[in-house]
Structure 1
């Protein structure tokens, strides 16, 4: 098996730009008093957006893992347990459905697509997105979180972690397990069978694709 994020920054900046545009329009039609009120409102909007941006890094973009849940929702006869490791749940599903090898490969491929998409929902999609890298640093328990893309990349790249653990992290205060060496990581990855599909990652997330390494 080949081993193997929606940019919050863009979506956050749009309300600011829109508020500034509205303020400019109002200034053309209002008195100086009205202008001051609109400008003040715009400043408040900017401040609110910046506050949300800071909180999003600290929280690690905690969201309900709906991409994984949607995969299992396709099987209403299966009693999916969302608090259990989803790869263990897949094994239970396989036993229930009695898939042959071809059926298991087909459904595992769909699950791996959902895993990649869940990573993008929780952390980001683009490898050039600073906020995405800062979320990863936050998940690793880094404090303070680096302020530059270069620093974030360096820190993450020299840390031995299993990337599937990032999407199993449900509590924003919980940090991802780190390993002392690549050998320890390799052993853990093989024992737990926690892999991403590299081709799916390449299609959907330049960030995840950059992070993946070959585990032999």
Structure 2
């Protein structure tokens, strides 16, 4: 286990959880995502949703856990705090999977 990082479920599981959560990626899926992230506005397009997501600092694993538990996810005030949390918990979403997964790419932050 080295360097204090916790072992987590395989990254394949988080990818499957995201696919199950997000669905087909239609406008309603994007709007649900924004609602689950705590936005009060109902955005009228995927582009507006995508723009709103740029300001969000949330760990994708933690987000999915929060949705499963029916609560709002923890939002980090800064990207640096999100990065610290992500590395300390080992809950990293695989970048190689993000490109074709809609809003994951907008939520994903560079960790270095």
Please tell me the TM-score bracket, short chain as reference: 0.7 to 0.9
Question: Which one of 34, 51, 56 corresponds to residue 159 of structure 1?
Answer: 56
Cα distance change on mapping 1:199 and 1:125 into 2, 3 Å = farther
Partner of 1:213: 109
- Stretches of 4+ aligned residues off by more than 4 angstroms: none
Cα distance change on mapping 1:209 and 1:138 into 2, 3 Å = closer
Question: Secondary structure of the equivalent of 2:38?
Answer: coil
For residues 161-200 of structure 1, what are the structure 2 equivalents within 5 Å? 161-169=58-66, 170-172=68-70, 174-200=71-97
Unmatched tracts of structure 2, length 5 or more: 1-5
Unmatched tracts of structure 1, length 5 or more: 1-87, 92-107
For residues 61-100 of structure 1, what are the structure 2 equivalents within 5 Å? none
- Name the TM-score, length of structure 1 as normaliser: 0.43
Cα distance change on mapping 1:200 and 1:151 into 2, 3 Å = closer
Cα distance change on mapping 1:112 and 1:208 into 2, 3 Å = farther
Query: Cα RMSD (Å) of the superposition?
Result: 2.4
Aligned length: 106
For residues 132-151 of structure 1, what are the structure 2 equivalents within 5 Å? 132-151=29-48
Partner of 1:58: none
CA distance in 2, matches of 1:208, 1:151: 12
- Name the TM-score, length of structure 2 as normaliser: 0.77
For residues 83-122 of structure 1, what are the structure 2 equivalents within 5 Å? 111-122=10-21
